[in-house]
Structure formats: C-alpha cells, structure tokens
Copies of this chain bind each other. A is one copy, B any other.
Amino acid sequence: MVRSGCVKLYEENANGEERVLQFAFAGDLLGLEALGSQRHECHAVALGNVMTCRLLAPFGVPDEPVNAEHCRRLVQRASTILQACMHRSRGADPLASLQEFLGWLAHRIGRELEREGRRYWQIQLPMSRLEIGAYLGCAEETVCRSLRRLQRQGQLEVRGREILMEAPPRAALLAGATAPR
C-alpha cells in the first residue's frame, strides 16, 4: 500500500518501449492483480520519495479464522480498482484522455486554491511528459501540444510540472472512485 508519493506501474512491450499501466498514490493498493495468478506481470518504480507498507490477505494465515469484514473490504477494493480500470478511456482522443487524466490527478493530489474569488486546483506532476504519453498511449510531443492547446483554450495554466486548473471535469468524479475512504 502506498502511504505517500507516487509509484509507477509499467511493462515493456515487444519493441522494448515502456507502457505505463497505472500511477498509484497514497491509499492505493498494489499487487491485487497478482492474487489470482500468483505472478506479478508488471514492474513498479517510485517517482521521487515514496513510503509504503505491507498488508496480509485476510485468508493468508492458516490457523486463523477468516475475518469476514476484512474479506469483504478486500473484495470491495479490488472491485473499485477494477471499475476504474474498465472505464479508463481507451485510445480515441488524446486530448480528452489527457483532460480526464488531469481531472483524476486533481482529485487525487490536487491542492485547492482561492484566487480572485475563483477556485482552482493546483497539481504538481510527479511524472514526465514521456511517462504521461506512455500512460495515455500517445507520443511525448502530443502530450505537450495537448497541454498547450488546453492552455490556449483557457482551461488550465502550465508551468513546467505545475498545473493550475479550474473546477475539474465531471469525469473526474467517476474516476475518483479509486480514492481511499
């Protein structure tokens, strides 16, 4: 379980290029996808400083009765992650994907600001443009240009890895289901 910071889950495709599967933040459980196959099919690396802790599956200890509540919550967590994974925009429009991603980030790691009576979300990106592209399925340059376009449209403000955006888009609420309680 990630306690703080950001962990990047990725795999390498046949051409040796990196494909990012997930960015995990505080409260996210890692490795649930391997409980079934007993095999971890992807790599994980910390982006900056990260704190983690280990958890035991509720049915992993032999001489101990199954804790129904723990079991139920584990299934719920897996279920929630699955739902987020299923609904994640696949391909299509890089710009829309980026918007959704930023909305999700704002919900997860955004700081709320007040400026001239308007509410903003401030995001400090823990990953590079290249990694965002590897996550969304597009080239690094496309991420740059999409950010620029969103800025020209007045939807956000970009300063390196710092992003300032107005009220996050609707879709963020759905994706936000991944957030811990």
Q: Would you give the 0/1 interface string for A66-87, flagging 1 where the beta carbon is closer than 8 Å to chain B?
A: 1110011011111111110111
* A18 CB–B CB distance under 8 Å: no
CB distance from A79 to the nearest CB of B (A): 4
Residues in A1-58 with C-beta less than 8 Å from chain B? 9, 11, 14-15, 19, 21-22, 32-37, 41-42, 57-58
Contact call B82/A82, Cβ cutoff below 8 A: yes
* A74 proximity list for chain B (CB < 8 A): 75
Q: Which residue of B lies closest to A65 (CB)?
A: B68
Asked if residues B173 and A91 are in contact (CB atoms below 8 Å), the reply is no
The answer to whether B41 and A83 touch across the interface, beta carbons within 8 angstroms, is yes
Inter-subunit contact B85/A86 (CB<8 Å): yes
Q: Bound complex: CA of A34 vs CA of B71, how far in Å?
A: 16
Q: Which B residues are CB-close (under 8 A) to A75?
A: 35-36, 57, 59, 71, 74-75, 78
Residues on B with C-beta less than 8 A from A59 are: 68, 71-72, 75
What are 21 contact pairs spanning A and B, CB under 8 A?
A14-B173, A14-B174, A15-B177, A32-B79, A32-B82, A33-B86, A35-B75, A36-B76, A36-B78, A37-B177, A41-B83, A42-B86, A66-B68, A66-B71, A68-B71, A71-B71, A71-B75, A78-B78, A78-B79, A90-B90, A92-B137
Selected from B66, B76, B80, B81, the residue in CB contact (under 8 A) with A66 is B66
- A138 located at the interface, meaning its Cβ lies under 8 Å from any Cβ of chain B in the complex: yes
The interface residues of chain B lying within 8 Å CB-to-CB of A173 are: 14
Contacts of A21 in B (CB 8 A): 86-87
